[in-house]
Copies of this chain bind each other. A is one copy, B any other.
């Protein structure tokens, strides 16, 4: 199964421009081409794009994704380094999740605060209306 760049964009959630950009900077291999010179993405290509978007979503910088992509080409001898990259990145992600949770608590606290203010104001309005 092959996909045009438009289909690949839709399935990967990336834009057409981004797909060409990723290719240009060496994040993805140049896909096959049809007789007219148009890109034909394979299921394999899409799987790799899917993995890349996971890395991006989790905030991995592109230069590191590129290092990973290049290691992939050098075969199994680089598996150690690739594993290390993912391992360290996972630790980063976990830490970021923890940070976000901490920030969530602050947000909860603030929101609760606003809700209390609202309740108080609503109460005062009731009192005003009753005494009017």
Contact = CB atoms under 8 A, between A and B. Distances in A.
Interface of A: 51, 54-55, 57-58, 76, 79-80, 82-83, 86-87, 89-90, 93-94, 96-97, 99-101, 103-104, 106-108, 110-111, 114-115, 117-118, 121
A97 to B, nearest CB: 5
Most buried by B among A55, A57, A58, A103: A103
A104 B117 contact: no
Task: Count the copies.
Answer: 2
Contacts of A51: 106, 110
Contacts of A90: 104, 107-108, 111
A83 B104 contact: no
A114 B57 contact: no
